[in-house]
Amino acid sequence: MSPFRSPHKLLLFIVAVAFLLGVLQVGLVSIAFDKLGLSQQAAFLLLFSSLAGSMINLPLFSVRAEQPPEPPPLPTFWPVQLPPFTGRTLIAVNAGGCLIPLTFSLYLLLNNPLPLFDALFGIAAIATVSYYMSRPIAGLGIGMPVFIAPISAALVAILLNPEQSAPLAYISGTLGVLIGADLLRLKDIRHIGAPVASIGGAGTFDGIFITGIVAVLLA
């Protein structure tokens, strides 16, 4: 989750695009999507839809929240401006970090011979890992080490279903992070004083986008 709603997100978007173009040069992302059965055109569409969608937070509702004990630790070299805290936290859903991965996971589940039990078990396993490895950050949102979820998702997928490990790793990783680090952490939002908490937020470069790509590569 992330409260960042500022013009600086445009800079984040540009940096993310530059990074992804560099990754695409060595073919890693293309390899990952190829393992998921996507054409190059479909892979690019999904990739840049996710990036563009990361700029869109759709408001859902607001909850009363406590003032954070101290200002969040922001980088001194990049002065991100947070919205003023008003005693309430707006809960939103991020298009690129939540809706698109959710839709693509459903597509993979319906278009691959993947047992429902394997998918549910994988999602539950990564959700558990994500919940216990994530932590509330005062004034900001929920944070989690980036590579914990993708490595866990790849291992679970390989152990559960080696023949369908790539789609299973993506589904387990992305939905597991959404459930464990976002939805199950909603109860903590009232206590961190974040102006905005976005489900699947911080762009698609929080745990969700990286989890999907890295988990598929490892699987």
pLDDT at 176: 92
Mean predicted confidence (pLDDT) in 111-120: 92
Output the pLDDT for position 203.
Answer: 42
Query: What's the pLDDT score for residue 78?
Result: 42
Residue 98: the pLDDT is 87
Of 168 and 65, more confident: 168
pTM here is 0.78
Give the residue-averaged pLDDT of 15-24. 59
Q: What is the pLDDT of residue 41?
A: 77
Rounded Cα–Cα distance for residues 146 and 29 (Å): 17
User: What's phi and psi for 92, nearest 5 deg?
Assistant: -130, 170
Counting residues of the chain whose pLDDT is more than 90, the rounded percentage is 19
Which CA distances in Å does 81 have to 11, 55, 119, 137, 195? 13, 16, 40, 17, 12
**For 59-105, what is each residue's pLDDT tens digit?**
888 777 777 656 555 444 444 455 666 777 788 888 888 898 899 99
d(CA 51, CA 69): 33
> Domain residues of the chain, as ranges?
8-76+83-218
For the segment 47-69, what is each residue's pLDDT rounded down to a tens digit? 778 778 778 888 888 777 777 65
Pair of tokens at residue 174: 């992305």
